[in-house]
């Protein structure tokens, strides 16, 4: 077993819930401390150490650092795209000040923090970024508060590496789809709800228009990518902002057709809302060749294999 002490901040979110389970399998349950702003129910809170932590509470943050002396930190706490537009001031505070509290602790001598993981998003791109085969480097003019915090955060993790040697790894996640945890406040969340509606025998009311193609990634691939980039040898991580990451790209009508191969009577109706404008500011297809070159990234799931796995596992819940 690798001897590290891992702290996951924002552990009860869509990604955190699955990441904690995987990390505890690698490092041992007692060596992975899950934390979030409130205690809930489920494996994250019961299968290993859990601490209530609001990353904006600096006194509590220091208490946790002193108590556990984490060597690896996964800082996931953030407001996602749709929620951030409803509360932009708090979104900036949580997404940015939260990141600075982690980076400033990591640069301090004596805290013992060796590596930080911090997620970015394809939301860091904007309407003037090429929408197909979106390059690692190109125009980045995000129009959402969430995307602005992600792009800004990328510049800061690069600065903290160059100036202070803080080793932060990061991925520009597409929309994440999984069956073990619920998404929260994202513009891609329809792609999770649609499976639940299909199995419940109800039509899906999609908040995006037909034909709105977005980059997506199945959660098992997202978890594997996160651990691969976090565990890669430092000399392989030659790009110190955040790596483009891709799995598949589809529109709501395509995921509907994929589900209909299993449930022929399933239907989707379209009622676009304010999230349509967010989606239209994002890329449709991502070029993640740099992640492949630098640390061997390759997705394993496509739309149909994800649909088969999602429906199979949701039926068991
Ligand atoms: C969101 N699920 O919708 C997140 C993600 C690319 C989208 O960052 O905000």
Q: How far is CA 93 from CA 53, 78, 137, 214, in A?
A: 15, 9, 27, 27
Residue pLDDT tens, the chain, 317 long: 558 999 999 999 999 999 999 999 999 999 999 999 998 888 889 999 999 999 999 999 999 999 999 999 999 999 999 999 999 999 999 999 999 999 999 999 999 999 999 999 999 999 999 999 999 999 999 999 999 999 999 999 999 999 999 999 999 999 999 999 888 889 999 999 999 999 999 999 999 999 999 999 999 999 999 999 999 999 999 999 999 999 999 999 999 999 999 999 999 999 999 999 999 999 999 999 999 999 999 999 999 999 999 999 999 88
- Angle made by CA atoms 74, 75, 76, in degrees to the nearest 5: 105
Q: Which ligand 1 atom is nearest residue 183's CA? A: 2
> 1 lies in a domain?
no
> Ligand 1 — pocket residues by CB below 6 A?
80-81, 121-123, 146, 173-176, 186-188
Question: Are 142 and 68 members of one domain?
Answer: yes
CATH number at residue 227: 3.40.50.720
> Would you say residue 139 lies in a domain?
yes
82 shares its domain with 111: yes
Q: Domain limits at 237? A: 6-174+219-244
Nearest to 156 by CA among 170, 145, 142: 170
Helix (H, G, I), strand (E, B) or coil at 257: helix
Q: Is the pTM of this model over 0.85?
A: yes
HEC letters along 53-104: CCCCCHHHHHHHHHHHCCCEEEECCCCCHHHHHHCHHHHHHHHHHHHHHHHH
Together in a domain, 64 and 187: no
Domain match, 153 and 205 both: no
Nearest-angstrom CA–CA distance, 94 and 5: 24
Domain count, the chain: 2
Bridge partners for 175 per DSSP: 216
Selection from 246, 243, 226, 25 nearest residue 115 by Cα:
226
Considering only CA atoms, which residue is closest to atom 1 of ligand 1? Answer: 186
CB 168, CB 160: distance < 8 Å? yes
């Amino acid at each position: 077993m690798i001897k590290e002490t891992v702290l996951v901040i924002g552990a009860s979110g869509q990604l955190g819930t699955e990441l904690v389970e995987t990390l505890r399998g690698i490092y041992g349950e007692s060596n992975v401390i899950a934390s979030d702003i409130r205690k809930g129910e489920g494996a994250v809170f019961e299968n290993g150490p859990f601490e209530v932590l609001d990353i904006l509470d600096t006194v509590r943050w220091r208490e946790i650092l002193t108590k556990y002396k984490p060597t690896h930190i996964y800082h996931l706490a953030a407001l996602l795209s749709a929620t951030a537009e409803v509360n932009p001031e708090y979104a900036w505070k949580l997404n940015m000040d939260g990141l600075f509290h982690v980076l400033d602790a990591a640069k301090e001598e004596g805290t013992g923090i060796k590596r930080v993981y911090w997620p970015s998003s394809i939301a860091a791109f904007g309407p003037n970024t090429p929408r197909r085969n979106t390059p690692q480097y190109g125009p980045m003019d995000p129009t959402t508060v969430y995307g602005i915090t992600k792009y800004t955060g990328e510049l800061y993790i690069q600065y903290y590496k160059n100036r202070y040697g803080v080793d932060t790894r990061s991925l520009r996640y597409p929309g994440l789809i999984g069956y073990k945890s619920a998404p929260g406040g994202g513009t891609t969340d329809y792609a999770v709800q649609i499976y639940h509606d299909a199995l419940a025998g109800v039509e899906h009311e999609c908040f995006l228009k037909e034909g709105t193609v977005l980059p997506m990634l199945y959660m098992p691939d997202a978890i594997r990518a996160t651990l691969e980039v976090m565990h890669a040898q430092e000399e392989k991580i030659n790009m110190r902002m955040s790596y483009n990451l891709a799995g598949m790209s589809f529109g709501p009508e395509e995921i509907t057709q994929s589900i209909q191969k299993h449930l022929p009577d399933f239907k989707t109706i379209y009622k676009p809302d304010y999230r349509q404008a967010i989606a239209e500011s994002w890329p449709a297809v991502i070029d993640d060749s740099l992640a492949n070159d630098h640390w061997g990234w390759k997705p394993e799931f496509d739309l149909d294999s994800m649909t088969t796995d999602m429906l199979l596992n949701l039926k068991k819940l």
